[in-house]
Amino acid sequence: GAGVSQSPRYKVAKRGQDVALRCDPISGHVSLFWYQQALGQGPEFLTYFQNEAQLDKSGLPSDRFFAERPEGSVSTLKIQRTQQEDSAVYLCASSLGALGQGYNEQFFGPGTRLTVL
């Protein structure tokens, strides 16, 4: 079946531009996570959705970062006024169950590589 997809796969932005990154989770998956992976580092948590509810946004690095999942399926991560330090791979992952329902394996997408010039 189809896995998690993300678009675009690559994005180049000039400093100060706004960008929107899309994540299509596996159909029926309740949980959705966003991660930021800087070059040479492991993924770092940004935010978590359970259906359409954003239950945790503790990892968002600044108020320039905003995420939504209005209908509980597709999610968009928006970065306003991009800065060079925002350059990274942004990963999306989804899992079947909600938190508190035991272990649910996260399935990762291919990521969007954002380069801010």
Partner 1 sequence: AQSVSQHNHHVILSEAASLELGCNYSYGGTVNLFWYVQYPGQHLQLLLKYFSGDPLVKGIKGFEAEFIKSKFSFNLRKPSVQWSDTAEYFCAVISGGSYIPTFGRGTSLIVHP
Residue 83 one-letter amino acid: Q
Contacts (CB under 8 A) with partner 1, residues 26-85: 40-45, 48, 56, 59
CB of 109 to partner 1, least distance (A): 6
Angle at 91 between CA 88 and CA 93, to 5 degrees: 165
CA distance 112 to 88: 8
**Does 3 contact partner 1 by CB under 8 A?**
yes
Residue 108 CA to residue 31 CA, distance in Å, equals 12
> Which residues, numbered 4-23, are part of the site for partner 1 (CB under 8 A)?
4
Residue 91 binding partner 1, by CB under 8 A: yes
The count of other CB atoms within 10 Å of the CB of residue 34 is: 26
What residues make contact with partner 1 under the rule CB under 8 A?
3-4, 40-45, 48, 56, 59, 91, 93, 99, 103, 105-111
